[in-house]
Amino acid sequence: MGEEQRLSPDEQIALAREQFENATDFTIAVEEEFAILDPQTLDLTNRFEDVQAAAQGTPVEEHLAGELIASEVEVRTGRCETFADVAATMAERRAQLRALVEPMGLLLGATGTHPWADWKEQRIIDTPHYRRNDELLRYVVWRNNTFGLHVHVAINGPDRAIAVFNGMRNFLPELLTLSCSSPFVEGVNSGLHSARTQIFTRFFPRCGVPDSFASWDQYERFVRFLFDTSSITEHTQIWWSVRPHLAFPTVEIRICDGQPELSEAHSLAALAASLAARVARAHDEGRPVEPLPHRLIEENFWRAISWGLSGELIDFGRGEPIPARQRIEELIEWVLPAAEEIGAASYLAAPERNVAERQIERFEDGASLEEIYAEQVRATEWIGG
């Protein structure tokens, strides 16, 4: 990050183009965000700096990062050549992080929101990046106590990366539908399956579903415009749910809620990476995925936020809504050739019920938020195959 910040916007954009021109297709990286919890109360606790200090000199040090609030920690796989490497490294990072925090008397949570935490009690971490965002966004950034899973997929070629970005916009609702894990927030049942997405994408500027671009040049002109008008001071202030990254030659998929269970995190990352590879191959074959209008994607986006895997998504080819589970199953079948190419096929799965559905069912059966969240924390703690 330090070198990147020393570059001017023009230098950053030029370097990004060069990196995409030289990128190796379909290398993958995953980032997972976790809540840092008090083990007695399961409340969020502002201990990131302590966790960071404890990581010094350990194998996880270079893969650990702060993420806005001091009650949150992120671990990153780093670049992996195959999806099998991704899956193994995700398990390793979770185990490393757990081994780090347990002696400190801390636990980890991975649902998209904390069910009852008070955002007013969360402290913004003291880094130049987050100080700038705090000064710029104030209430918007204070309220963003959310936890997600991000997938980076390397794409060779700047224009090709834009084609993948354009196509991936269409599938953001499906990925969100599968990942929903945050029905509870601020002590209430929100009535949504992903309160995280509503909080983050509806609060932040330059967030949610982006417009499509005709080429890398058009995208580059827009980024220059944002810098030239002082709309952004860092390229990471483009918070779209999918974005061409300007520090790495990747298309970054940022729509997903965090996943307590490792196996479901694997399935979600596998689908996201396979979709990116499948869209790239469709482009290579001269049958590109045509980007849907923003207004149509937004219709499915709201359905995903509201009803998740329990609801319906509009099939724009059929011109009618179909069960979300059916849509996910059809999508898995469509991406299978690409999934096999990147080694992700064996990880693809649509659960009988996703995390949000299981939590909502427990709530409707009379379980308290504390009981339900304790179950999710135990699921996060288990590092299994």
Residue with tokens 């509201």: 306
Kindly report the CATH number assigned to the domain that includes residue 341: 3.30.590.20
Domain of 337, in residue numbers: 2-30+127-376
In a domain, 110, yes or no: no
Spatial separation of the C-alpha atoms in residues 112 and 114, rounded to whole Å:
7
Number of residues in the chain: 385
Residue with tokens 């330059």: 206
Count Cβ atoms below 10 Å from residue 31 Cβ, excluding itself: 22
In a domain, 97, yes or no: no
Spatial separation of the C-alpha atoms in residues 158 and 82, rounded to whole Å:
22
The DSSP annotation for 138-155 comes to THHHHT--B-EEEEEEE-
In a domain, 183, yes or no: yes
Number of domains in the chain: 1
Tell me the whole-structure pTM to 2 decimals: 0.96
Tokens in use for 338?
């690409």
Spatial separation of the C-alpha atoms in residues 385 and 262, rounded to whole Å:
8
The per-residue pLDDT string of the chain (385 residues; one tens digit each, 9 = 90 and over) reads: 344 457 899 999 999 999 999 999 999 999 999 999 999 999 999 999 999 999 999 999 999 999 889 999 999 999 999 999 999 999 999 999 999 999 999 999 999 999 999 999 999 898 888 888 888 788 888 888 999 999 999 999 999 999 999 999 999 999 999 999 999 999 999 999 999 999 999 888 999 999 999 999 999 999 999 999 999 999 999 999 999 999 999 999 999 999 999 999 999 999 999 999 999 999 999 999 999 999 999 999 999 999 999 999 999 999 999 999 999 999 999 999 999 999 999 999 988 899 999 999 999 999 999 999 999 999 998 765 4
Spatial separation of the C-alpha atoms in residues 345 and 359, rounded to whole Å:
28
In a domain, 6, yes or no: yes
In a domain, 235, yes or no: yes
CA torsion sign for 150, 44, 204, 223 is negative
- Helix/strand/coil for 79: coil
C-alpha separations of 111 from 58, 224, 259, 356, 381 in Å: 26, 36, 6, 9, 12
In a domain, 313, yes or no: yes
Residue 266 contacts residue 80 (beta carbons within 8 Å): no
Residue 4 contacts residue 247 (beta carbons within 8 Å): yes
In a domain, 118, yes or no: no
In a domain, 233, yes or no: yes
Relative to beta strand 207-208, strand 239-240 is: parallel
